[in-house]
Chain A
Amino acid sequence: MSVPHALLALLSAGPKYGLRLQTEFEARTGEVWPLNVGQVYTTLQRLERDGLVETDDVEGERSRKRYKITREGGRDLADWLRTPPDLVPPPRDELVIKVLVALEVPGTDVHEILQVHRRHVVEVMQRYTRVKAAAGEDDVALSLVADAELFRLEGIVRWLDAADVRLKQLPRLAPAQVVELIPEPTAEMEVSQ
């Protein structure tokens, strides 16, 4: 989550005090991403230094300062909205590695390992769904935040389901083959980190 750009977005609707920015940020993200007021002021300080926001009261206490977005801040925000996020996955997904390693450990039921993780992910999904259920259908911002997490987690469950089926179809995968499946980090992967 890019806190600086979220704050710029909130300021694009008009000048605001730091405390107001914190409450608005939390309200818009359904309190799924908590943000303390210290973080807000540190970020505002940096944005001010970079010329993306300005304040009318340069000398005063930070809580008395009202911030507004600059023309340059507006441009930076517009650019950021159109810049694709980094979709390259982390080179070594912990869950994938665990499942691959489980295949190698004698006496381990991989399907049981898959189920432990499936249950855990579904429990986390239930918590996000409860956040959504409690908020009501008209809270669009919160629904969007919860949906993003739910679709990501559902992807993990689908991967676990697919792994279950694949492993049933290939009951005897030799350990040597498994080791080959674990990718060595390449130069390209390191760059993406």
Chain B
Amino acid sequence: MSSALELRHVSKTYGSGPTEVHALSDVDLTVERGELVAVMGPSGSGKSTLLTIAGSLEETTSGQVLVDGTDLSTVSRSDRAKMRRRSIGYVFQDFNLLPGLKAIENVTLPLELDGVSSKPARVAALEAMEKLDIADRKDRYPDELSGGERQRVAIARAIVGGRGLLLADEPTGALDSVNGEGVMRLLRAATHRGVAGVVVTHEAQLASWADRVVFLRDGHIVDQTAAPPGPESLLAAGDR
């Protein structure tokens, strides 16, 4: 079976001549279903560019992006937009909920934009909201929700309708550390139910919720963490 997301030799350059900036250089990254990968790097390392390219919001300068095995460069612009609506969910730092819509309407929005009629869209939205334990807030407006609740709604919107790829850009940025941890627990749970997840962050504590941490520096992937040895290895460290 093909991977949920595959970046092959992806490079992205902005500008040309003396103002040329290499945001990404020869990046290879594969993310499987059920796996949460954190991309960690300082500001300006290319994290956000990597995410927008993975989500087909931007095109590569060279290299290939495959979502569910489909090379995005081989499909038409409209098919790419359809893939973006159906297969990929985004979670942003500042939630990006529409203030004039109720929580459940924010969650149904991507389905309705995709032509799903309102009744099945509502059923799918409620299901996603139940998974995130936020269904009881469905009729509240964003400004009637706490920061943590808003982010739950944003994650519900990202996974609604069985999206297979979840992309998150500093998803806990506006929250304190305990609520931020709550968001990472939810993202981890969502990916372990079979979604592929990519989180970009500069914070090591958030990155440590991922199954694998990839380190980005100056547009290059320079390193990644080894396969997890499990918690028992902490005990083997002996007495303190």
* Chain A partners chain B: yes
Which residues from chain A sit less than 8 Å from chain B, CB to CB? 1, 31-36, 39, 111, 115, 118-119, 121-123, 125-131, 133-134, 137, 150-151, 153-154, 157-158, 161, 164-165
Checking B182, B203, B223, B228 against A126 with a beta-carbon cut-off of 8 angstroms, the contacting residue is: B228
Which residues from chain B sit less than 8 Å from chain A, CB to CB? 40, 42, 182, 185, 188, 202-205, 207-210, 213, 215, 217, 222-226, 228-231, 233-235, 238-240
Cross-chain contact B213 with A131 (CB below 8 angstroms): no
Cross-chain contact B205 with A137 (CB below 8 angstroms): no
Cross-chain contact B208 with A125 (CB below 8 angstroms): yes
Complex: how many Å from CA A116 to CA B235? 23
A127 surroundings in chain B (CB, below 8 A): 228-231, 233-234
B233 surroundings in chain A (CB, below 8 A): 127
Cross-chain contact A123 with B234 (CB below 8 angstroms): no
Given contacts A35-B239, A131-B234, contact A126 B188 (CB under 8 A): no
Complex: how many Å from CA A125 to CA B208? 6
Cross-chain contact B205 with A119 (CB below 8 angstroms): no
Checking B204, B230, B231 against A153 with a beta-carbon cut-off of 8 angstroms, the contacting residue is: B204
Given contacts A119-B223, A123-B225, A154-B203, contact A133 B239 (CB under 8 A): no
A134 surroundings in chain B (CB, below 8 A): 231
Q: How far is the CB of B192 from chain A (nearest CB, A)?
A: 10
Given contacts A31-B235, A127-B233, A157-B204, contact A115 B40 (CB under 8 A): no
Residue of A nearest to B235 (CB): A34
A111 surroundings in chain B (CB, below 8 A): 217
Complex: how many Å from CA A165 to CA B218? 12
Could you give 11 example pairs across A and B, Cβ below 8 Å? A32-B234, A33-B239, A36-B239, A118-B215, A119-B215, A123-B225, A123-B226, A125-B207, A127-B233, A137-B182, A164-B42
Cross-chain contact A130 with B228 (CB below 8 angstroms): yes
B182 surroundings in chain A (CB, below 8 A): 137
User: In the complex, given contacts A1-B240, A118-B223, what are 11 additional A-B residue pairs having Cβ atoms less than 8 angstroms apart?
Assistant: A36-B239, A115-B217, A119-B213, A119-B224, A128-B234, A129-B209, A130-B228, A131-B234, A150-B208, A153-B204, A161-B42
Cross-chain contact B239 with A126 (CB below 8 angstroms): no
Q: How far is the CB of A10 from chain B (nearest CB, A)?
A: 18
Residue of B nearest to A164 (CB): B42
Complex: how many Å from CA A150 to CA B205? 7
Checking B185, B204, B230 against A122 with a beta-carbon cut-off of 8 angstroms, the contacting residue is: B204
A1 surroundings in chain B (CB, below 8 A): 240
A153 surroundings in chain B (CB, below 8 A): 204
B210 surroundings in chain A (CB, below 8 A): 126
B207 surroundings in chain A (CB, below 8 A): 122, 125
Complex: how many Å from CA A153 to CA B182? 20
Complex: how many Å from CA A110 to CA B230? 30
Cross-chain contact B208 with A126 (CB below 8 angstroms): yes
Cross-chain contact B222 with A115 (CB below 8 angstroms): yes
Complex: how many Å from CA A125 to CA B224? 14
Given contacts A119-B225, A161-B42, A165-B42, contact A131 B231 (CB under 8 A): yes
Q: How far is the CB of B65 from chain A (nearest CB, A)?
A: 26
Residue with the highest number of chain A CB atoms closer than 10 Å, among B204, B207, B230, B240: B204
A157 surroundings in chain B (CB, below 8 A): 204
Cross-chain contact B205 with A33 (CB below 8 angstroms): no
Complex: how many Å from CA A157 to CA B215? 12
Q: How far is the CB of A55 from chain B (nearest CB, A)?
A: 25
Q: How far is the CB of B189 from chain A (nearest CB, A)?
A: 9
A126 surroundings in chain B (CB, below 8 A): 208, 210, 213, 225, 228
Cross-chain contact A34 with B40 (CB below 8 angstroms): no
B223 surroundings in chain A (CB, below 8 A): 115, 118-119
Complex: how many Å from CA A34 to CA B240? 8
Residue of A nearest to B204 (CB): A157
Given contacts A119-B225, A131-B231, A137-B182, contact A125 B205 (CB under 8 A): yes
Q: How far is the CB of A84 from chain B (nearest CB, A)?
A: 20
B234 surroundings in chain A (CB, below 8 A): 32, 127-128, 131
